[in-house]
A and B are shown apart, each in its own frame.
Chain A
Amino acid sequence: MSEFTSLRRQKDASPQEPRPEVHPFTEGHLRDLVGREFPGGQFTIVPHRQWLLNDVVLGRPGAFPEQGSLAHPLNVYLSTSAMGITWDELFEWCGATAEDGPMFGEHETEVVTPMLVGSAYTVTGRIVSAERKVGRRAGVFDIIAYTLDIADESGERAASTTNSIVFPRRSL
């Protein structure tokens, strides 16, 4: 069991029972997190998912996507589907759970070669930064950023995405 699972709130603990010890996610933990590699994986932009994505974001209307057609650039962000861990597992790396209210911070997409429907892509990535801040109203929070690199079928980098997540540290 991860050392950070003890950070989860014990919703069922009654006021009379002693609360389990909470291990704070220290700045040392933050430093150790930087450079941690994702397992990675592969994904293919299949036509029906491209159609659904266009429908969700009210993107390009028209015919069903054809193999080899230009994919919506939001697919760069969607490469997170192949980062090799779940969102819950990523939150656990960062000493948190979904219940702690992590929020999107910043996002960056960089496209070298536009992505195509029907093409397979390989995703690699890592945690690139982790810092603790204190806000007057927000209190203690951590900003943790990761980068995913997306390579096309020839192994060349097609795109990258860097995203930061804000983790409130209400227990600190």
Chain B
Amino acid sequence: MSRRLPNVDETIPTWINESVDPERMKTMAALLDDSNPIHFDLITLRNLGMGDRQVNQGPSNLGYILNMLEEWAGSGSVRKVKVRFNSNVHAGDRLLARGTVTGVREEGGSQLIDCDVNLQIEGGDVALDGTATVVWKEH
């Protein structure tokens, strides 16, 4: 059975990270070869006056938006994402990756869905916002 095309203004199901995990920041630091200690060293954070919660890596925050898109449109569906990094995300933050359909079009034989996307810190700022395009797979 084929899936129906989304409609403009349709809301993408929200993807939630209940609590940003500081332990996972250590893994991302290793994967990125990122030596910035604000992602894993509380002593450095305090010495810099940056509080006592580790700062999540920007690519991880981007990853949550990509998760939202792929859970909705399917693995391998992402064709374009463009975002601005507005605010830091910290360990323990509850995050909501959200999106809204802004366009449905055909290009090269594929149905493309354009969206506005953002990553909201619950009770706080919009950490990332931007646009995305996915290819819609009907099956």
List chain A positions with a Cβ less than 8 A from chain B: 49, 52-53, 55-60, 70, 72-74, 77-78, 80-81, 86-88, 98, 103-111, 114
Contacts and interface: CB of A to CB of B under 8 A. Distances in A.
User: Most chain-A CB neighbours within 10 Å: which of B24, B33, B63, B82?
Assistant: B63
Nearest to A71: B76
Interface string B64-108: 101100100001101111111100000000000000000000000
Instruction: Please give me the 8 A-B residue pairs with the lowest Cβ-Cβ distance, nearest first.
Output: A57-B63, A114-B76, A104-B85, A104-B58, A108-B82, A70-B76, A73-B78, A74-B63
What band does the interface of chain B fall in when counting residues whose beta carbon is under 8 Å from A? 20 to 34
B35 to A, nearest CB: 7
Contacts of B60: 56-57
Interface of B: 17, 24, 27-28, 31-36, 58-60, 62-64, 66-67, 70, 75-76, 78-85, 130
Contacts of B32: 78, 80-81
Contacts of A70: 75-76
A109 B33 contact: no
Contacts of B78: 73, 109, 111, 114
Nearest to B66: A73
A107 to B, nearest CB: 5
A120 B84 CA distance: 29
A109 B76 contact: no
A106 B63 contact: no
A13 B130 CA distance: 44
B34 to A, nearest CB: 7
Nearest to A98: B36
B129 to A, nearest CB: 11
B66 A74 contact: yes
Given A73-B78, A98-B36, A107-B85, A57 B31 contact: no
A110 B80 contact: yes
Contacts of B70: 59-60, 73
B59 to A, nearest CB: 5
B76 A106 contact: no
B33 A81 contact: yes
B80 A111 contact: yes
A64 to B, nearest CB: 16
Contacts of A53: 31, 63
